[in-house]
Amino acid sequence: MSDTTILQNSTHVIKPKKSVALSGVPAGNTALCTVGKSGNDLHYR
């Protein structure tokens, strides 16, 4: 294994999870319909 291969494999950086602005806020009487594929899109009815 060459030094170049090691460098390419070790450059993966783990990014911290983004905070959601309304995280922990009760939704009240709103009913949740769907959550987007990425988990970030909320669609209400």
Q: Tell me if 25 sits within 8 A of 36, measured CB to CB.
A: no
pTM for the whole thing?
0.23
Q: Which of 19, 41, 42, 20 is nearest to 31 (CA)?
A: 42
Residue 39 gets which letter from DSSP?
S
Predicted confidence (pLDDT) per residue in 4-40, tens digit: 544 555 566 777 766 667 777 776 776 667 888 887 7
- Residue 21 neighbours by CB distance under 10 Å: 6
- Provide CB contacts within 8 A for 20, sequence distance 6+: 40
